[in-house]
Structure 1
Amino acid sequence: MSRPGFPRSVIEFQRLFPDELACRAYLFASRWPDGFSCPACGGGAIGAEHRRHLWQCQACGRQTSVTAGTVMHKTRLPLTLWFWATYLVATHGPGISALQLQRQLGVSRYETAWTILHKLRRAMVAPEREPLTGEVEVDEGFLGGRDTDLRGGRQRDGKPLVGVAVEVRGNGSGRLRLQLLPDASSRSLTSFVRTSIATGAIVHTDGWQGYSGLRVAGFEHHSHKQRARFVDREWVLPRAHRALSNLKTWLQGTHHGVSPQHLQVYLDEFVFRHNRRRTPLAGFQTLLGLGAFHEPTTYRQITRGQP
């Protein structure tokens, strides 16, 4: 069973996914492109599909739903609603707020749209995504307010610090990584680089002492001195500076600010949109494909800001 191509219009989307059966067929093809495989024993033989839409392994008897372990795990909402939400989130270039999604879906409760949106956001990052490669610019910056010269130290009370890593692709930017950092210490910055960039890559940073351990960590480190902190950053690290500036504009323009406990999820969404900016129509398949292999997230985890 193969997945259909991406719908290039709202009319085509409605034709491809008119009902629950079509949505279930798409999820089945996403989870088991080579045919059903029991998550318990790996058995491929399928018994009858029950009225509760459960697939049964003939080898061990375990019953499995196509939504088990996905962002739609144990959902009581129609799959057609989830698919429409995914389509809107994936194709709305600047992003979409929960209030906008509520209006577009026609759901009565804001909390319903908010929960759907946050579950989809948590499915935007593949657990085993490929690290950045080649030449990479790395920087960090505070969200909120205008950056000023902080040569005396990199502390700004109450402002979240974000690590930025972006691939150099000619005169443009390649893939992006963003991560909340506890501080700008060598330990925090080296950890961010290690989890974001492949060992051996060429890493460009400014002259901050927190990056001094990158060469020992296995990277080809190029430190670019600045006359003063934040004075000429856009010339020294133009791609990282542009990414951070665009992030701030996006957070304020689309979401009008974000609570600290949910900030990393919004950073992941920005990365998702940046990395797929040249192929926005593929976002729908990517989003559902990632969601089909993501650990389920509960409402309690979302509201408490838990991973």
Structure 2
Amino acid sequence: MRSHHNANDLPEQYSQVNTGSADGYAACWNFASGKDGISALSLKRTLEIGSYQTAWAMLHRLRSILVRPDRELLRGKVEVDETYIGGLDPGLPGGRAQGKKVLTCVAVELIEPKGFGRCRMAPVADASAESLLAFVSTNVEPGATVITDAWQSYRGLEKKGYIHDRRSQRAASARGEDPGALLPGVHRIASLAKRWLLGTHQGAVDAAHLPSYLNEFVFRFNRRGSRNRGMLFYRVLELAVAHDPVRYQDLARTKRPKAKRPKPPGKRGLPPSLDRPRQNRPWRQHDSG
């Protein structure tokens, strides 16, 4: 099926998925039915959509409606840690130093005796107590046991009403244990998210739209046990109908400054091979007479 729709001409009431056309439902089905989702380029080829921008806008409208405002917070035992998401950043010091990569917080429920429940992921401005505690307060229910490493910014969790289980990587190394095994849940989630971004989207995710991609990953991970893909399709449509319209201008807007336009070219002259003084050729003057 071929589409000639423009991303700016979507019906107002269906602006999330362009469900005013068959392509809108087809885009939503391809988005929900695939285990790992679909990239804008693949959607463009599958539905024979006229432009990449239209396919990109369709998918981002779907990503923008995946978070329910009234969704339940994580509860029980919850691991919390940070990771960097992005391309290679040569020369970046270790630890939590700032760079081109995006610092992202990860939280995941632990299920006894073994397994993981729901997860949450979101970029944060920095590794300060203000940023990390705000992420925990937004995503974890007070009274839950929050398991973190020994980073100092987490020390205020008990004052926020959480049971704080601090695990020191340095102490684990001194005991001869593997420091990476202290927080297996968040490390697993971070690894899966990075693999998904590289696999489905080839890592072509900028910082401005990373939250939307993380929302999609969380949506898929939390419903990984669903055997009926049609139910996921129904849930996405249900969320789209309940959500406010999302315009293309809001999706394409970015905080990164635009590159300055180059100055217009000046007066053009002849190339060096032709820019020569006129030679004295009297026979040409005679012929022209």
Task: Map 1:52-91 to 2 at 5 A.
Answer: 68=13, 71-72=16-17, 75=18, 78-91=20-33
Whose Rg is larger? Answer: 2
Which among 201, 204, 218 is matched to residue 161 of structure 2? 218
Secondary structure at 1:94 match in 2: coil
CA gap 1:178/1:96 in 2 versus in 1, 3 angstroms? same
Report the AA paired with residue 298 of structure 1. R
Distance 1:152 1:300 in 2: 37
Distance 1:158 1:190 in 2: 23
Cα deviation 1:85-121 (Å, max 9, x = unaligned): 1111001111210011111212121111111011011
Secondary structure at 2:181 match in 1: helix
Distance 1:82 1:265 in 2: 19
Could you tell me which residue of structure 2 aligns to residue 301 of structure 1?
Answer: 250
Distance 1:176 1:124 in 2: 14
Identity of aligned residues (%): 43
Q: List runs of 5+ in structure 2 lacking aligned partners.
A: 1-10, 256-289
Distance 1:271 1:135 in 2: 18
Secondary structure at 1:140 match in 2: strand
Distance 2:44 2:96 in 1: 40
CA gap 1:181/1:233 in 2 versus in 1, 3 angstroms? farther
1:268 aligns with 2:211: no
Provide the alpha-carbon RMSD of the alignment: 2.6
Q: Aligned-pair distance for 1:140? A: 0.5
Could you tell me which residue of structure 2 aligns to residue 192 of structure 1?
Answer: 135
Secondary structure at 2:188 match in 1: helix
Q: Aligned-pair distance for 1:234? A: 3.2
CA gap 1:178/1:155 in 2 versus in 1, 3 angstroms? same
Count of equivalent residues: 236
Q: Aligned-pair distance for 1:82? A: 1.1
Report the AA paired with residue 160 of structure 1. V
Range 220-229 or range 268-277, more displaced: 220-229
CA gap 1:146/1:98 in 2 versus in 1, 3 angstroms? closer
Report the AA paired with residue 274 of structure 1. F
CA gap 1:256/1:109 in 2 versus in 1, 3 angstroms? same
Distance 1:156 1:233 in 2: 23
- Does the CA-based 8 Å contact 1:70-1:294 persist in structure 2? no
Could you tell me which residue of structure 2 aligns to residue 172 of structure 1?
Answer: 115
Which among 124, 142, 146 is matched to residue 66 of structure 2? 124
Secondary structure at 2:164 match in 1: strand
- Does the CA-based 8 Å contact 1:204-1:221 persist in structure 2? yes
Report the AA paired with residue 240 of structure 2. G
Secondary structure at 2:158 match in 1: coil
CA gap 1:232/1:191 in 2 versus in 1, 3 angstroms? farther
Distance 2:180 2:222 in 1: 21
Q: Aligned-pair distance for 1:227? A: 2.1
Distance 1:88 1:180 in 2: 27
Distance 1:294 1:212 in 2: 37
- Does the CA-based 8 Å contact 2:170-2:179 persist in structure 1? no
CA gap 1:151/1:85 in 2 versus in 1, 3 angstroms? closer
Cα deviation 1:65-92 (Å, max 9, x = unaligned): x9737625xx5x7432111111110011
Cα deviation 1:42-65 (Å, max 9, x = unaligned): xxxxxxxxxxxxxxxxxxxxxxxx
Secondary structure at 1:260 match in 2: coil
- Does the CA-based 8 Å contact 2:169-2:179 persist in structure 1? yes
Q: Aligned-pair distance for 1:152? A: 7.8
- Does the CA-based 8 Å contact 2:14-2:20 persist in structure 1? no
